[in-house]
């Protein structure tokens, strides 16, 4: 699919998502699913809702929507993710395609959800314009992103360790700021600019559960994209110091070998007039 290779950032993201299907499920799957019901609740997804899960990944949100009785579909730009979703949820329709060029007619859906996907888009405004197009009048969009690193502690302690023991200025393809939509006002502004009305933003609590010595360092090294690339670009000595620092900083969240780190997300929604 040539459309996903149009810029360096998208190519970088695409290559990673094709490669980390299994590790993403193992490292992030349980965590990101914790906000699925909140996302679908704010969209009002229930029996008969025509629902689209954009950046569906392994199909988690689409599957929950289907269990609610929705006419559910998912789309992802990584063929590996689409294949995994189809294997797991064979009764749901999954498509291979770009969020920035959705292959659906105008007004096809009552609700569109994007679970932790918008921060991976090279052109989030273009993706939201496509969502706007495929929604019916009165339909709703909702997306989740990570809260700021100060709130999403798993990210915060990893980034602090990199700043202390490694280097942040590693060569990565330029893309939108990772925490752009962690800013509630930026969520509202961008949704309004896309034509949506009545934007609402809330925080949803989530907790990352690991067992020592595994921490958010390992989750992000093996299951993420940009932060994984940041960690892999460090020297072996720096990476070892970062790993040890993160484990030490987990002490306040540790009970024996169990580590439970706050990882809340921002949930933004709006209506197509």
Which residues have CB under 8 Å from 177's CB, separation 6+?
none
Distance, in Å, from the CA atom of 155 to the CA atom of 254, rounded to the nearest integer, reads: 16
Unique residue bearing structure tokens 């989750």: 219
Q: Which helix (H) or strand (E) holds 53?
A: strand 50-54
The whole-angstrom separation of Cα 142 and Cα 199 is 9
Q: State the alpha helices, DSSP H only, in the chain.
A: 8-19, 21-32, 36-43, 60-67, 79-88, 124-134, 153-165, 184-193, 216-223, 226-232, 236-249
Record the pTM. 0.94
Each of the 273 residues of the chain gets a pLDDT tens digit; together they read 334 345 899 999 999 999 999 999 988 989 999 999 999 999 999 999 999 999 999 999 999 999 999 999 999 999 999 999 999 999 999 999 999 999 999 999 999 999 999 999 999 999 999 999 999 999 999 999 999 999 999 999 999 999 999 999 988 888 899 999 999 999 999 999 999 999 999 999 999 999 999 999 999 999 999 999 999 999 999 999 999 999 999 999 999 999 999 999 999 999 999
Residue ranges and CATH numbers for the domains of the chain are 2-149+171-207+263-271 (3.40.50.150)
Closest CA to 1 of 57, 76, 83: 76
């Amino acid at each position: 699919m040539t459309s996903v290779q149009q810029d360096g950032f998208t190519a970088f993201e695409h290559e990673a998502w094709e490669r980390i299907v299994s590790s993403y499920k193992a490292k992030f799957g349980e965590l990101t699913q914790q906000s699925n019901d909140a996302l679908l609740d704010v969209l009002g997804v229930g029996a008969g809702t025509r629902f689209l899960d954009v950046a569906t990944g392994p199909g988690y949100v689409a599957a929950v929507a289907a269990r609610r009785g929705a006419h559910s579909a998912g789309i992802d730009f990584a063929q590996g993710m689409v294949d995994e979703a189809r294997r797991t949820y064979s009764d749901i329709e999954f498509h291979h395609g770009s969020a920035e060029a959705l292959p659906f007619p105008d007004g096809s859906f009552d609700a569109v959800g994007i679970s932790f996907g918008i921060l991976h888009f090279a052109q989030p405004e273009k993706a939201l314009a496509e969502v706007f197009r495929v929604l019916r009048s009165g339909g709703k969009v909702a997306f989740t992103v990570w809260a700021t690193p100060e709130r999403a502690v798993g990210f915060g302690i990893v980034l602090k360790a990199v700043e202390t023991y490694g280097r942040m200025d590693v060569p990565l393809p330029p893309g939108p700021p990772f925490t752009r939509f962690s800013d509630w006002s930026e969520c509202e502004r961008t949704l309004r600019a896309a034509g949506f009305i009545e934007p609402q933003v809330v925080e949803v609590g989530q907790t990352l559960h690991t067992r020592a010595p595994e921490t958010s360092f390992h989750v992000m090294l093996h299951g993420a994209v940009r932060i994984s690339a940041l960690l892999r670009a460090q020297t072996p000595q720096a990476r070892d110091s970062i790993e040890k620092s993160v484990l030490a900083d987990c002490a306040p969240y540790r009970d024996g070998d169990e580590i439970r780190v706050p990882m809340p997300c921002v949930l933004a929604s709006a209506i197509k007039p």
